[in-house]
Structure 1
Amino acid sequence: MAYQQGGGFGGPREMYKAVCAECKKECEVPFKPREGGKPILCRECYLKSKGQSR
C-alpha cells in the first residue's frame, strides 16, 4: 500500500502539526488534532502498532 498525501479530490491535503503519543516526536497528520481526542501516532509508531496487533 502506497502512502499518499492527496485528499482523493485532486488537490494537496492540508496537514496539521502534532506530537506522537509514543515517541514524542513532532509529526504531521491530515486531520486537525482535537484536545482530549484519540492519541496521535507518527507514521513509524503507527506502522509498528499495526504490526504488533496481528
Structure 2
Amino acid sequence: MSRPAQYKFRLYVAGDALNSAQARANLAALCQTHLAGRYQIEIVDVFKEPRRALA
C-alpha cells in the first residue's frame, strides 16, 4: 500500500505586516482543509533573510 503524498510549501512574507499574517492564515487553512496531516509550511521572512529570498 502506498503512502499518501506529502506536500511542502515555502511562503515568503514581509515581517509581521497584515498581508503577511493573512497569507500565513490562508495557507494554513487551505492546507488543513485539503491536506490534513500531509503538509509542511516553511515561512521565510524577507526582512530577516533577504539573501535567501533573492535566491
| Structure-2-length-normalised TM-score | 0.23
Name whichever structure is richer in strand by fraction. 2
- Report the structure, 1 or 2, having the larger helix content: 2
